[in-house]
Structures are given as structure tokens and as C-alpha cells.
Amino acid sequence: MEPKNPSEPSFAQRVEEALLQVPPGRVVTYGGLALLAGRPRAARAVGMLMARNPYGELLPCHRVVSASGELSSRSFRQEQARRLRAEGVEVVDFHVDLSRYGWDGRSRS
């Protein structure tokens, strides 16, 4: 549901703003991003927004992973793994260790 006040950012805008805060070398889950955007039960909506990303590399969608640390859909996995590795994230069998690389929004590192 979009905000009633047109001056308030939409959910999509809040997701984009939250994603831009994820530092290089860290990842966030779809659910974590939904929580940061103010809708903790909207992980699927976040996934749909990431799939429709109109901004290309300007929006670091490669930093978003599943709750198990699994990388994105098969069509983007290789590129996502490449981008994450370039930022220093260890990717093994298309998974990342969330305890090591996960970001919860509390710090910029």
C-alpha cells in the first residue's frame, strides 16, 4: 500500500534508499531490506522490485540475497557472484555466509 501523503516516499523509494546504504562487501536479505524499508513482511515485494530494477548498476541489487544466503535467480547468478567477489565477498556454490557478510542496517561497515 502506497502512502496516503504524496510527499512521503513510496515503498519502492524506501527500498532503493535502504539498498543504497548497504556497504560494498556486505549483503542484505530480501526480508532484511523489507524491514529496513518499513514493511517487514514484504520480502517478496522486494524481490519483485529487484527483478525490475530500471537503474542497472546504479542500484546495487547484487548485494541482495535470500534468507539462506543464496544468490539470485539463475539468470543473474554468475554476474551477481562476480560483482560480490569484486567487493571481497566470498561466494561458495552461489551462497554467501550471512554471519560474515550480512548487513542489518546498523552500521556502514
Distance CA 24, CA 86 (A): 9
**Strand residue runs (E) in 4-97:** 28-29, 64-65
Distance of CA 95 to the CA centre of its chain: 14
> Comparing C-alpha atoms, which of 106, 97, 43, 27 is closest to residue 68?
97
Q: Which of 61, 65, 71, 81 is labelled catalytic?
A: 61
> Comparing C-alpha atoms, which of 79, 10, 20 is closest to residue 42?
10
| 53 in catalytic set | no
Instruction: Just list the catalytic residues.
Output: 61
